[in-house]
Amino acid sequence: MSNEITTEASAVTSRLAIDVSQDRVQAFIGLPDPADATAWTADELIGALRQANIVVNETVTTRVNELLALIASGNDLPDRFLLAEGRPATEPKDAEFTWNPSLQEMAQGWQDDAPINYYKLNSILTIEADAILGELTPAIPGQDGIDIYGHPIKPTQHPLEIELGDGVTKSSEDPKVIKAVIAGRVQQTNNKLAITPVLDIKGDVDFESGSVDSCVDVDISGTVHDQFEVCSQKSVSIRGAVEAASVEAKSDISIRGGILGHHKGKVSAEGEIVARFCDEADLCAAGNITICKSIMNSRLYTNGKLLTPHGAVIGGEVYAREGAQVDVLGSEAGVPTSIAVGIHAEVLQEVKKNNAQINEKKKAVQKIRETVQPLMANLKRLTPDQKERATELLYKADELEAEVAEIEKSRDAMIAQARAKETPSVYVSKIIHEGASIRIGNRHTLFNEDLKGPVRIEKRKVNNITEFVSVNQLSGSITVLPSIRLDED
């Protein structure tokens, strides 16, 4: 409750000043002169309140009498005294959905200590019909308050409700309990809870089942074997492993048994990929890639983050535009292992080509204009053929300048699309081994000796020079690392 004073709400009589709090819920009277205060009367105090348009009720009258009694007692007086008080509005409480603990245990069971995004629990679990999803606590609406003038004070917000969509319902025994009407995948988006149909494959994807091409979510209880394909217009959940196969989804992919790619096949998602481990595999995701345990000799590409906070990345190449969090980078044997974050190297190379084209065309424009300028200064002396040639050259210069503008526009759009939304970095909690390398944008560093964590590798300005640095997460100490620019390789 605010006690801030607003002068606009002050009412002043010849002897009394009524100060109103900024939220209009409290009215105080200042007591600057105890000698003068001894002459105050109840009628005078109430009159001052009414003059300020403050509602005078039984509670206010009681407070007036308490003030007069305090003055008459001869005790020390406060700087000011609360005479009238309204009631602030009660803000609403949003509806809340609490997942069934058994579902959380099922998710945590295969992800170990990896973080779980319960808002995307659909990428991990499918639900049987009549299964209990959790409990819904309804929203509690706010209550109007009232200010000292008798005017209502409205809550500042409306409660956020959770809508029950297709496939879910309230239990007839307890309306707080939410159950599944059909088997399928739970979706919790935009405060709406629903279940979408799922293609449920009991067992492996092999010669018996054949490859899968589905327009709905796919749930596979077994393993996807070598050379088979699984494609979904929505999400894919695999409870077994993925071998040298192809798995593709327009949304998320979860693989509880891990990926054994043998450098064949590919797992790609337009959403996120979550897997227990990744061995000799090729992964591509628009969202984050979360690997609960190790990544061995694999190629990973994500426009989000690589998250393997409890696992090692050994061998292979990783690109994670928004950054990476790993436990161990590289191995004691010095296996070459690289992580790149920020703008991708291919984009930087394309930008370099664009800049070369721009410079070449600008030089051509400058040469043309330097050639034509003397001619245009003596236009009357030019023959018709010379005038025509000069006009053609100027037209060519204008064309080249238009091409430069178009290349610059395309280059800038490409950079904006490829740039990370946040400042990219690589966090390693235990150790970076000799032989590992990290690239951020157009700079990279190769580690020639082990570096113990927890450390964050990032680019920073040091003495007005952009440097690769290692920031120790315990001491805060910063060490500049040797690095080279990509175009100097």
Q: What is the pLDDT of residue 8?
A: 37
Q: How far apart are CA 91 and CA 140, in angstroms?
A: 9
pLDDT at 117 over 90: no
Torsion of CA 212, 213, 216, 218, to 10 degrees: 20
Q: How far apart are CA 274 and CA 295, in angstroms?
A: 12
Nearest residue to 135 via CA among 168, 175, 167, 107: 175
205, burial (CB in 10 Å: exposed 0-12, middle 13-18, buried 19+): buried
Looking up tokens 């069971």 gives: 109
**pLDDT (tens digit, 9 = 90+) per residue, 80-99?**
899 999 999 999 999 998 88
Q: How far apart are CA 427 and CA 319, in angstroms?
A: 14
Q: What is the pLDDT of residue 115?
A: 47
Q: How confident is the model at residue 7 (pLDDT cuts 50, 70, 90)?
A: very low
Mean pLDDT of the chain, nearest integer: 86
- The CB-side HSE value for 350 (13 A sphere, CA atoms) comes to 14
Does residue 178 or residue 108 have the better pLDDT?
178
pLDDT at 12 over 60: no
Give the Å distances, CA to CA, from 472 to 236, 242, 350, 478.
39, 37, 34, 7
**Interhelix angle 58-73/42-51, nearest 10 degrees:** 130
Length of the chain: 489
**pLDDT (tens digit, 9 = 90+) per residue, 173-224?**
999 999 999 888 787 777 888 888 888 888 999 998 899 998 888 989 999 9
Mean pLDDT within 319-329: 95
Q: What is the pLDDT of residue 297?
A: 96
What token pair was written down for 24?
A: 């209009």
Mean pLDDT within 159-170: 91
Most confident of 32-36, 213-217, 325-329, 474-478: 325-329
Is the preceding peptide bond at 92 cis, omega within 30 degrees of 0?
no
Mean pLDDT within 415-444: 91
| Three-state DSSP class for residue 130 | coil
DSSP string, 215-263: SSEEEESS-B-TT-EEEESS-EEESS-B-S-EEEESS-EEETT-EE-TT
Q: How far apart are CA 327 and CA 293, in angstroms?
A: 10
**DSSP, res 127:** B
Give the Å distances, CA to CA, from 458 to 209, 234, 443, 472.
48, 36, 10, 11
CB atoms within 10 A of CB 108: 13
pLDDT at 13 over 70: no
| Three-state DSSP class for residue 145 | strand
Kindly report which listed range (71-85, 151-165, 238-252, 414-428) carries the lowest average pLDDT score: 71-85
